[in-house]
Each structure stands twice: as C-alpha cells, then as structure tokens.
Structure 1
Amino acid sequence: MNTPVVIEVRDVAKTFLVPEHRVDTLKERVVRPFRRISYRRFEALKGVSFDVYDGEFFGIVGQNGSGKSTLLKILANIYKADRGRVRVAGRVAPFIELGVGFNPEFTASENIEINGVLMGLTRREARRRADRILDFAELQEFRELKLKNYSSGMMVRLAFSIMVEADADIMLIDEVLAVGDAGFAQKCMDVFRARKRAGKTIVLVTHDMATVQSMCDRALLIDVGEVRYVGDPEEAARRYLRINFQRGSNRSAAGEPSDPATGGERMRVAVPQTNVRLASARLLVNGEEARNVEEGASFLIDARLRAERELKDPLFGLQVFNDEGILIARPPRWRLPEQQRARKIAVDEELAVQIELENPFVPGRYSVDLWVAEERGRDEIAVQPLRLISFVVYGTGEREGIVRLRSRCSTELGQPPTGSHEIGPTMTSASPAMPTASPTDVEDGVL
C-alpha cells in the first residue's frame, strides 16, 4: 500500500496492578488503617502491533476487557505503554470517555475554551468557534449552564462537537457515542462520512458490528490483549462473533447458559448478520433521563431499533458487564409479544425496547449489551450484538464483591451437645430452652 502510515504501533504492552480490595471510603480507612492491600497483575495489552493509513476509517473491536479502550488511550497519549513504540503523524482529537476533560462546575462556554486548547486550538480560535460548536450540538440556549446540570445526551453532543471543530488530522473515538439520541447519532455518521471524503483518519472502538461492516475500511480484532486479526471488516465481525459463541459454548459445557440470544442451544452455527441499527438509547430513573444511577435505585433502559433487513420473530438477549469486562447479569431471553410474532418486520420498521432492571450493583461503571438474533432453520442462527448504553452507579457503600444482596438473616441459640462448652447462661434439664433470637434484617450483603 502506497498510502502513508499515520499511526504505527509496534509491540505495545500495558499492565495494570489491580487491588484485590478497594479502599474507597473514609470509614474503611479509619476502621482498617493498617490493612495491607494486595494486588494482582492484569495484562491489558500483550505485544500489539498494527498500522493505520492516512484517510482510513479503522475499526477496533473486541469483547469487554480485551484491551480496546486501553489501546485507544495509549494512542491519545493518556496512558504510557510499558513496552513498545507508538508513532502518530498529525494532530489528534480524542473522544474517549464521557465527561473526560470537562469541569462540571464550569459552563459550556468555559469548557469549550479549555477542551479546544487541549485539542490543539489557541484560546482565541476556541472562543471564535464556540458558536459553531454550540449550534452543531444544539445547545446554544444552554451555553451559560454549568455542565453538572447537563444530561448524558447533552454532554455527548458537546464533546463530539468540540472534537469536530478541532478539525484534527486523526479522530480517536470510543463507543460512548451510543449515549446520544437518534438524530444526533445520524449527524455523527454524516460527519464521519464527510471527514472520510476529506481524507481525515478515523479510529473507532465499537461493539456495533453494523457500523464496522458499513463504515470501516479495515478493522482490528483484539482479544485478551492480543491482536487476533487485522484486515477486512466483514471478516473481523465474523471472528468477533465466533469468539463470543465459542466462549458461550464453553460455558454451556460447564453447565452454564450459553450466549444470551440463543439461550444455550449449542449445536447451531452462529452467523454474523446486521439485523438492526440502534436509533437511540436512554437510561431513565423515575422517568427522568440520567447518566448516573444511585446505588439501589431501579432504572429503565428505553431504546429504539430500526430493522436493517426483513426479520421474522427475532430473539433478544441482554448482558450487563462491569468496568473490568466481567459479566454481571444475563436475564432470560425474550421475543416480541405473541400477537406480533407471525408477521414479518419490514426494513426500517421501528422496534421499541424497554428493559426494567433492579440495581443490586456496587458503585462503579457498567455497560449493557443487547443481542438480536433470528433463527434460520434448525442449524443456523443470525446474530448481532449492540452496545446499548453505559452508566455509573454511585453511592457510599463498600465496593467488595460484585453485587449487593438484600437478605433476611437470623441466628438461634439452642441446646448444646453433651459435654460441649456452653456459651452464655448455664442450661440445665429443667431450664427452658433459650429464646430464639429475633431475626435481624440485613439491608446490604455483598456477594
């Protein structure tokens, strides 16, 4: 290929030390001031090498915890690699994590100036472009509102608009665009196409195989920190789905349910297929859109899908992951209502998805994936994973374990065995049995 290389990555490795027990609250520090914290080594990247060419739309795909976001942060110079070499030719505009680089106590205008400078603009250029940024983000009337009062959708629109106006040579984009609404998502896709025509380079991390197949020139599949494939996006999507299903089959063999879309049916061949596109996804708490959820508060995910092809009686599955890529929950799969299953879903027809979830999660960041599948006879199933939304659970509770369980527990004193040491008041054969202790309500137990 004669096109110049603008990103060169050679033998890049990155390891994190992950505490076995996180001390996050003042109470924990006071109660256990001398507690030693043990760590485990997590190899996020293991000798990653690839090139990105000038003007290329390059996708990076992989399961949660595979190292995609770590790799993007190294390209953006947010993380430093432990080993290897990264060379980037041109000015970079990263859009990596919702809220990063924003000060919630500042207004939109003030944050535009700060982020514009971080992306390579002068303060004068950032101020001059503020109106265009706010117009594109459709936030002109909220320019003097502090960002702590913005919704997640407003934050996405502002961050993306700043990146667009920075007009950098290379755009680095993580999957946080899934938070935006349908109209703005379409504007983003229009920007991608326009920048691609203008010869700009775009690197996109995503779980949406439809975007990879339709937009990317090439794609990289990364798994457990290692490059598994670089090349044709269709092949990258197939291999990505194959990895998912192979691990699902392994779980089935161990007595666990398999992938969420098929409900554990082992013998079917999984075929990657663009079934739908995500039009919008919102997280609602008490009917109000939110990006953070208080510990213990239930919430609703409201999503809209558009059929990319004719579908009949599709299957739906759900997965919830924490920020370490650990699968936290997989509710039972479901279908359309009985009365709607007989007819075919037309191309571009809308599907309304509503998911009500209880919130037993400990404080931290979580993501929700939706799987859409269609059965093709007895031996084949067409599947598509979609990243619906990411959110943060906040609270002051301890962060041990994965979820919090509400339970009702009791302890009872009874007649001790003969010859054993008695605890408490002496008991004789004439003595009445000790009264049963009152059950104690335990509000929060950690699994």
Structure 2
Amino acid sequence: MASIAVDHVWKQFVLKKDRADSVGHLMLRMIPQPRNKRPKSEPFWALRDISIDMPHGTSFGIVGNNGSGKSTLLKILTQTMKPTRGSIAVSGRVSALIELGAGFHPDFTGRENVYLNGSILGIGRKAIDAKMEEIIEFADIRPFIDTSVKYYSSGMQARLGFAVATSVDPEILIVDEVLAVGDEAFQQRCMDRIFTMKRSGTNILLVSHDLGSIERLMDRAVWINRGEMQIIGNPRDVVFAYRQSMIDQNAGFSAQEDVRETTNQTTFMVNEAYIETGSRRVDSIQSGDTMVIVTLLDNQTGVEMEGHFSYTIRRPDGLEIVSLSSMLDGAPMRFAPGPGQIRVQLPELYLTSGQYEVDAAVYDQNGRRIAEWRALIRFAVQAMQKTPGLLVLPHQWQIK
C-alpha cells in the first residue's frame, strides 16, 4: 500500500560568494586559484531534522512562508534531489506537480506532452488514450492541445499539468503551489478533484498558501519555518499557529502611525463573546431563528483606530459555513480606546442540527490581521427535521 516516511531529513546547500563585478573579475575567475585564495563559501541548511509519517490513505498539508524549505522537501520526496542526512521511503506510484512546466518539453504539443508524462509515470499509450479526452476536458485547452507548449500561458501549463497528474490514477499525489497561477474557477475544480481522490484513498501531499483548503481537505499538517518543523498535527491547530505567527510579526504595523508607535504586540482583547436570540443570551438556537453574535472587545492601544472585524462560522471539523466581514461589506469600524461592543445580526439562520463554532478576527484599515480568536463561541442548532447537508432551506413542493 502507498505510504511516505521521512526520517530526520536534513538538506544543505553551499552558497559560494564569487560574484563577478566586472569582465576582468570574470576572467580572473577562470584562472585556477590557490586553495587559500579561492572565494569563500558558506553552508546553508534548507531543511533541518524533518520527520513525517504518511500511512496509506493519508492527506498531508505543508504550510510556511516562501523560502522555508517546502519545495525542497517535495523535490527530495520525488527523488529529484537527495537529502544530506536522513532518509526517505516512498511506496507507491507517485504523480507530482512541483514546478510549472516540469516534465513538459517546450517543443512538443500539449497532446505529445501528455504521452511523455504518461511514459514517465509508467502508463502505457493505450491507457493514456483512454484518458485523453478527460485530460483535455479538465484542462480546458481543447483548441490548443496540438500547439507547442512553449506558446502556452502559465495558467494553461498549470491546467494541463494538473489534469495529467491527477488523471493517471496515482497512488500518491504531490502538489506544490503551482495551482496559484490558475484562475479561481480552475482552482476550485482542482480542490474538488483532490477531495475526490482523497475519498478514494489516494495519499495526498499538498503545499498551499490557501490555508482554508489545508484545514478542510487535509488529515494532518506541518508548519515549516526556515527549514525547521514548528508544529505538526491537526490541520486547524497548525494553521492557527502559523496565522498567529504572522499576526505576531505584523503586530504594531498599522497604517496609522500613532498606533504603530504605541503597539509592539497584540493590543486587542476579547472580554466576553456570546450569541443572542430574542434579546436572550443562549447556547443553542432553533434552525431558522434570528441569531446575534456579540463580542465585547477591548482596544488597549490607547488610541482610536480605524479597522475591520470578521466572524467565521464553522463546524467542529473545520468546514467553513459562512464568513462575515465588515471589510467585504464596506462597513469600516472605528475602535475607540477601551472596551466596546461589536454586534452582527443574522436573520433566519437555517442551519442543520449540530454543533458550531465562531471564529473572530480584527484587522487594521489595510486588511492586515491584528488579532484572531479561534472557537471564540460554541453553540448548537436544533432543527425540526433531520436533513443532510449544511442548510435547512424553506421550500414548497408542487406537481402539475
């Protein structure tokens, strides 16, 4: 069965400081130099002691800033690069989409490159022929399938690469952030296909800056920063820790100079948060009732600040039901110094029976997240009927 094991992997690169500043310097570099006069080089550790275990049927997300070592790890897993220390064990047929255009010959047509990629993955021509229409349809490049790939846009290359990588029934799918070049509709199709493959038991390793997708689709996740693992485990915990680190880095960096000068850490506190229905504080509501989310927020910056506030309603498994943002609604807020109250009303909230959580966040006027509170409120919904799905929508049946 397909599996991946990464055992204490380290990867070192050597940075040589021998940049030529002139033609004369370039000519001198071509002349052999004594050892003691050669340009100095410095070791750079791109990965430090990384260990990951992915048993059969596991989906795994990797998050982190650019340059943190995520792509280096994927290249080691696809055996295009060897670790300096440690070992990896990959069992199963791997299909990878790591670099834009990787595995494509620029002078070959899109159709020819499909066959080329199939042969690299060990898929016969007959099997590729059976999948060709599906690949062309998913990639949405039918008018250009017999055109040289060198004339493709980055989005077209990404669509074709993902269509090939996911249509050959891999046991392990490895995808880097190359999907970011696609449009929103294509990205959604990609995530839908990844979810379908996950349900069928395919091992999936996904690097993405779309943290919501990591939370929704992955079984486990790891945050890598400057080559080192910061936290590994439940995707929600990993994403929250990563987001919190971004908040800490940006703390005090507001567009308003007076706030920037007085803030060196998170300076907003939630004193209390709850939901109301019918002017009563409650822990549960009936599906279809009006619900009011109330937050008692304390601005401890000492100055008035213009910004925004958001609520996100989720299920406990992390699935986002709805996100409410004063920024998207065009309703900026002025946070006066000291305590204040934020309220948002949701009339006729038709959710199915179950448990729900409310996350909250405060932003400066430029949309930078200043503080975030996960599972700030927990509440239950009771519906008169047991209905699958997420919503209980009012409806009427007719037959004519």
| Length-normalised TM-score, structure 1 | 0.58
CA distance 1:85–1:342, shift in 2 (3 Å): closer
Amino acid at match of 1:216: M
Other-structure match for 2:159: 157
One-letter amino acid matched to 1:6: S
CA distance in 1, matches of 2:244, 2:78: 30
Q: How many Å separate the matches in 2 of 1:218 and 1:150?
A: 35
2:102 maps to amino acid? V
* Aligned sequence identity (%): 35
Give the SS at the match of 1:100: coil
Match of 1:268 among 247, 266, 269: 266
SS at 2:46 equivalent: strand
Contact kept? 1:137, 1:158, Cα under 8 Å: yes
Q: 1:12 aligns with which of 9, 12, 19?
A: 9
Greater displacement, 122-131 / 79-88: 122-131
Structure 1 pair 5/130, CA: closer, same or farther in 2 (3 Å)? closer
Equivalent residue for 2:324, pick from 292, 310, 317: 310
- Give the superposition deviation at 1:131: 2.6
Do 1:17 and 1:42's aligned partners in 2 also have CA atoms closer than 8 Å? Answer: yes
Conserved? CA contact 1:312–1:345, under 8 Å: no
The count of residues paired between Structure 1 and Structure 2 equals 295
Q: Tell me the CA shift for residue 119 of structure 1.
A: 2.0
On the 8 A contact 2:4/2:53 being kept in 1, the answer is yes
Distance 1:345 1:38 in 2: 61
Match of 1:381 among 371, 392, 395: 371
Aligned-partner SS, 1:129: helix
Displacement of 1:81 after TM fit? 0.9
Aligned residue in 1 for 2:147: 145
Once residues 11 and 150 of structure 1 are traced to their aligned partners in structure 2, the CA distance between those partners, rounded to angstroms, is 40
What is the CA–CA distance in structure 2 between the aligned matches of 1:241 and 1:267, rounded to whole Å?
Answer: 15
CA distance in 1, matches of 2:76, 2:243: 26
Structure 2: 5+ residue stretches without partners:
270-309, 313-320, 334-342, 347-360, 375-400
Aligned to 2:394: none
Residue pair 2:248, 2:265 contacting (<8 A) in 1 also: no
Aligned-residue Cα RMSD (Å) equals: 4.0
Alpha-carbon displacement from aligned partner over 1:369-398 (angstroms, at most 9, x marks no partner)? xxxx7439xx963499xxxxxxxxxxxxxx
User: Do residues 178 (structure 1) and 176 (structure 2) align?
Assistant: no
Q: Which residue of structure 2 aligns with residue 191 of structure 1?
A: 193
User: Offset of 1:196 from its aligned partner?
Assistant: 1.1
Cα–Cα, structure 1 residues 94 and 154, in superposed 2: closer, same or farther, change >3 Å? same
Summarize deviations over 1:177-228 as a string: whole Å, max 9, x none: 1111122111111101111111111110112211111211110111222222
Alignment partners' CA distance in 1, 2:23 and 2:134: 44
2:387 aligned residue: none
8 Å CA contact 1:119–1:163 kept in 2: the answer is: no
- Residue 52 of structure 2 aligns with an amino acid whose one-letter code is F
1:212–1:219: 8 Å Cα contact kept in structure 2?
yes
Q: Does structure 1 retain, via aligned residues, the 8 Å contact 2:9–2:51? A: yes
Residues 266 and 259 (structure 1), Cα distance of their counterparts in 2 relative to 1, 3 Å cut: farther
Which segments of 5 or more consecutive residues in structure 1 lack a partner in the other structure?
Answer: 276-306, 315-335, 348-372, 385-447
SS in 1 for 2:323: coil
Residue pair 1:258, 1:266 contacting (<8 A) in 2 also: no
- 1:217 corresponding residue in structure 2: 219
Question: Quick check: 2:266–2:371 contact (8 Å CA) kept in 1?
Answer: yes
Matched residue SS, 1:310: strand
Change (3 A) 1:130 1:217: same
* 1:320-331 superposed matches below 5 A: none
- Contact 2:2–2:172 (Cα < 8 Å) also in 1: no
CA gap 1:345/1:157 in 2 versus in 1, 3 angstroms:
farther
Separation in 1 of the partners of 2:220 and 2:260? 32
Q: CA deviation at 1:109?
A: 1.2
One-letter amino acid matched to 2:61: G
Distance 1:127-1:5 versus aligned 2 partners, 3 A rule: closer
Does the aligned pair in 2 maintain the 1:310–1:346 contact within 8 Å?
A: no
Whether the 8 Å CA contact 2:135–2:167 is kept in 1: the answer is yes
Q: Distance in 2 between matches of 1:32 and 1:69?
A: 32
| 2: CA distance, partners of 1:21 / 1:47 | 29
Structure 2 CA distance for aligned equivalents of residues 23 and 123 of structure 1: 49
What residue is the counterpart of 1:407 in the other structure?
none
**Contact 2:2-2:92 within 8 A present in 1 as well:** no
Q: Matches of residues 291-370 of structure 1 in structure 2 within 5 Å?
A: 309-313=323-327, 340-342=330-332
* CA distance in 2 between partners of 1:25 and 1:102 (Å): 36
2: CA distance, partners of 1:218 / 1:147? 36
Of 98, 101, 104, 1:102 maps to 104
**Structure 1 residue 200 corresponds to structure 2 residue 228:** no
Residue 239 of structure 1: how far off its partner (Å): 1.4
- Please state how far the C-alpha of 1:55 moved relative to its aligned partner: 1.4
Corresponding residue SS for 1:101: coil
User: Under a length normalisation based on structure 2, what TM-score does the superposition of the two structures give?
Assistant: 0.64
| CA shift in 2, pair 1:269/1:148, >3 Å | farther
8 Å Cα contact 1:152-1:179 kept in structure 2: yes
**Do the aligned partners of residues 174 and 25 (structure 1) sit closer, same or farther apart at CA in structure 2, a change above 3 Å counting?**
farther
